[in-house]
Structure 1
Amino acid sequence: MSEKYSYWLNNALVSESEATEVLTQDVTVDVAIVGGGFTGLWSAILLKQKQPELSIAVLEQSICGSGASGYNGGCLLTWATKYPTLKKLFGDEEARWLVEESEAVIAEIDEFCQAFDIEAELYTKGTYYTATNQAQMGTMDPVVAALKTEKINSWSNVDAETLHSKTGSAVHKEAHYSHAAGSVQPAKLARGLMRVAKQLGVKIYEKTAMETLQETQPALIGTNRGLVTATKVIFATNAWLINQFPELKRSIVVVSSDMVLTKPVAEKLAIHGPDQGVTVVDSRIFVHYYRDTKDGRLMLGKGGNRFSFGNKIDGMFDAKTRYLSQLENSFSWLFPFLNKNDIEHSWTGGSDRSVTGLPFFDRLRGHPHIFYGLGYSGNGVAQTRIGAKILASMVLGEDNRYTQCGLAKGPRGYFPPEPFRWCGAMVVRDAVRRKEVADQHGLKPFIVDRWLSKLAGPAGKADKVS
């Protein structure tokens, strides 16, 4: 297989011996899943666990994990910080349930990896949400207060005396910690899920791209080498879905998330932090996020750099970051005990940002047998398991909390058409950058920049673009 720019994916492929199986003939299945990332693989596994007799095929245009599932930062975060948005959109009861569900799946993923012997370098050591300047301080307070009122709060204040050692950086002024979070080598998790799906009897066809779709009953999916006839279909292709179905194109905007990874520096991390296995996320709109790895490296990511015109994602994967100098500056600022020459890898990937900052699921064009899900908005490594629960329940026609929840009713808003979307995104992005530079230097941002920055995310002060 050709080398990928993502260190995670290269590392995962080196450590496995799975042979690629390509579709070479016509097949008929109960369920066809288009997309071999987290959502598609979790959906296949959950369906097989519920109804082992189902015949299921996963079609992946490249290799499993070669999209966002193998290119993200590997932070297992929850929806707790999005509670204000969840409450505003879905009401108190469902907001509480979604927060609790998003925290529960962290443990579920850990237990699953242990049960099926997936070595995904997974930690469940929690996360720190921090402030790096006066303007960011207090950001989490109203969210925590609301969670406490609902008796679902997992956050606690971090003692100032231990803040710097726990987060690994002296730039942090305050932090809240939650145990309900973790980190994972995402590509290893994706490849592990692929192996388990195969063991359960799912057919995995890599390098098998969908070329045509007939929305008949059963549906007919044409590939370059065979026809798939399927009673039910799940589209789990993340941002790639909008290339197939233009009616969804305005439901998301594709935003880059760019990452750098150091060579092994375990001795320095042992002295300076962060705590092993935790994730750290700051309170910017376009966040910095970082964590260590099991082999003693440090990964730093930054969201919100590149916005794709027309949501074209070709070139956003399998590419080195265009923003290396910005990441190097952030790296030197956050970790003065390291040198930017310690950086060994960089890459970029695309995040499917929805209007609400939350994913959405539905039936495609109202068809009772074709389903889709996307819009994780940079916070989906753990949440894809929730998405798979929704999709599996919809496929099986179940009437439960997953099929009835607000996430299962399609997009809850649309972005403007091009070129207005891209032009608007550039105006807002640049305003956010100016505001955050001013905040960092203790200056008062221009009023227009403060106003435009509010357009970068939905309600809820702790919502992020990552």
Structure 2
Amino acid sequence: MTTAANPVLPRSAIETAVFRPFWLEQALAREPARVAAPLQGEVTADVCIIGGGFTGLWTAIQLKQAQPELDVLIIEKDLCGAGASGRNGGCLLTWSSKFFTLLRLYGEAEACRLVRASEDAVYQIANFCKAHGIDAELRLDGTLYTATNDAQQGGMAPVMQALAERGLSSWTQWDALEVQRHAGSAAHVEGWFSPAAGSVQPGLLVRGLARVARQMGVRIHENTPMQRIVEDFRPQVIIPAGRIVAGKVVLAMNAWMASSFAQFSRSIAIVSSDMIITEPRDCLLEHTGLDHGTAVMDSRTFVYYYRSTPDGRIMLGKGGNTFAMGGRMLPSFDRPSVYEAQLHKALRRMFPAWHEVPIAASWNGASDRSVTGLPFFGHLNGHPNIVYGFGYSGNGVGPSYMGGQILASLVRGEENAWTRSGLVKGPLGVFPPEPLRYLGSLIVRNAIRRKEAAEDHGCKPRALDNWLAKFAAAAGKADKPV
């Protein structure tokens, strides 16, 4: 078992000028200018985790909490948090609004357990940050799901009633004035509020988790991509300058799984979520009524979501924009958003007082959308010592903590509620083959855009657009939130 110290190098020595999304750039600016050195040579480990985002880091941390002597190694092809974990909207949410999907897939008892576990994960993340000194700007100020036109009104009522009937509801319905006052915008006509949620600076969280993992003894090597896996009894992870022989391997690569393993090419669809963030305006934020950390989102199929930051900014994003053919990672996923102008227009519409406030940055990222809208876990090709988990479908900040619980339980061979869960049965369904998936995604996306534009103007959508939009619901995309 290798126990050598985790070496670091000056960041400038191994990182060239690359685009970094706002959150990660802000987090890196607060760190000493050093990163974990690439791995070279042949090493061994009890557990090798591929991927240094939320899922990989939570898995490593929970393994060390349960078994401190375990030798855990993480390799990350870029920097920890360079993927979705450092570039999402920072909305810390639960699965309660997914209750009908959970019920249909896993049955009553498991659906109820998963709702409770997803709410518990929010508080566990907050407690972990407090206990380990991670200043991730985490604010447990709840979430607000709203309707922004007449067609959206009442859409959340059935799931709220189902939760209440089972004693699971943390939600309260607010009238239009209360919603508008708290959400800072007259665009909302009704809403439901839950305190079991909040917002976080995701770049600070993921970099903080990496720091704590190192303090626990986890070896982390950045700029170390996996080239392939040799599925021996003790799996071998081949890297550019060597290999890792491990007792167990955890694949925590999320959207990159589809292009790395052919068997998952139809298990997820790769689609962007795009964001903008304003320059800070503390006084204007207080005047708007957004001087809190509530995560707000509307009831569209591909929702608008927004929240403020402690330094006086508004972040606004929208899912379901750029679709990738064949699970490929498009260059546009790692650049400023091509939808910046549209997002800025939406921000000015929602917040007229912010009309003249400049946009500080825009960015986007690849989201791994599963058929069900929920992540899935399992053993790669049935191999007892290689496990995986991905498919968070745009809601991974909170649920990735549960992903760590699942993967840590699988690695340790435990018999518990996580390893018995229906989440551990692998992907439940596949998307159509290419090019049907890509072309169909564009057709459905554009129909949804037309349908929702008509609803925004109080008009009746075309029957064809209504019919096409139902395919998104069938694929799990219409669950709230994205």
Structures share a fold, TM > 0.5? yes
Alpha-carbon deviations, 1:275-334, whole Å to 9, x = none? 511110100001000000111110000111111111111414320101122112211111
Name the SS of the counterpart of 1:213 in structure 2: strand
**1:42-441, aligned counterparts within 5 Å?**
42-339=58-355, 341-441=357-457
Q: C-alpha distance in 1, partners of 2:279/2:475?
A: 38
Structure 1 359/286 Cα, relative in aligned 2: closer, same or farther at 3 Å?
Answer: same
Name the SS of the counterpart of 1:250 in structure 2: coil
- Contact 1:82–1:460 at 8 Å: present in 2 too? no
Counterpart code for 1:157 = Q
Q: C-alpha distance in 2, partners of 1:435/1:190?
A: 37
Q: C-alpha distance in 2, partners of 1:314/1:161?
A: 42
- Contact 1:140–1:461 at 8 Å: present in 2 too? no
Alpha-carbon deviations, 1:200-229, whole Å to 9, x = none? 111001001111210001111111112100
Name the SS of the counterpart of 2:331 in structure 1: coil
Alpha-carbon deviations, 1:349-388, whole Å to 9, x = none? 1110000000000000000000001100001111001011
Residue equivalent to 2:27: 12
- Contact 1:242–1:249 at 8 Å: present in 2 too? yes
Counterpart code for 2:57 = L
Q: C-alpha distance in 2, partners of 1:273/1:235?
A: 42
Residue equivalent to 2:10: none
- Contact 2:99–2:111 at 8 Å: present in 1 too? yes
Matched, 1:444 2:464: no
Q: How many residues align?
A: 466
- Contact 1:357–1:457 at 8 Å: present in 2 too? no
Structure 1 30/216 Cα, relative in aligned 2: closer, same or farther at 3 Å?
Answer: same
Counterpart code for 1:444 = K
- Contact 1:165–1:275 at 8 Å: present in 2 too? no
Q: Cα offset for 1:461?
A: 10
Counterpart code for 2:39 = L
Name the SS of the counterpart of 2:299 in structure 1: coil
Q: Cα offset for 1:3?
A: 4.6
- Contact 2:255–2:390 at 8 Å: present in 1 too? yes
- Contact 1:208–1:224 at 8 Å: present in 2 too? yes
Q: C-alpha distance in 1, partners of 2:178/2:227?
A: 55
Q: C-alpha distance in 1, partners of 2:256/2:316?
A: 25
- Contact 1:289–1:300 at 8 Å: present in 2 too? yes
Structure 1 unaligned spans of 5+ = none
- Contact 1:238–1:352 at 8 Å: present in 2 too? yes
Name the SS of the counterpart of 2:227 in structure 1: strand
- Contact 1:457–1:464 at 8 Å: present in 2 too? no
C-alpha RMSD of matched pairs (Å): 1.3
Identity %, equivalent residues: 51
Q: Cα offset for 1:20?
A: 2.2
Q: C-alpha distance in 1, partners of 2:93/2:285?
A: 22
- Contact 1:457–1:465 at 8 Å: present in 2 too? no
Q: Cα offset for 1:342?
A: 2.1
Counterpart code for 1:36 = G
- Contact 1:256–1:303 at 8 Å: present in 2 too? yes
Q: C-alpha distance in 2, partners of 1:49/1:4?
A: 34
Name the SS of the counterpart of 1:403 in structure 2: coil
Structure 1 212/462 Cα, relative in aligned 2: closer, same or farther at 3 Å?
Answer: closer
Counterpart code for 2:452 = E
- Contact 1:127–1:177 at 8 Å: present in 2 too? yes
The worse-fitting range, judged by mean Cα deviation, of 125-134 and 158-167 is 158-167
Counterpart code for 1:159 = D
Alpha-carbon deviations, 1:384-423, whole Å to 9, x = none? 0101100100010001010111111100000011000001
Name the SS of the counterpart of 2:210 in structure 1: helix
Structure 2 unaligned spans of 5+ = 1-14
- Contact 2:224–2:240 at 8 Å: present in 1 too? yes
Q: C-alpha distance in 1, partners of 2:127/2:261?
A: 36
Q: Cα offset for 1:176?
A: 0.5
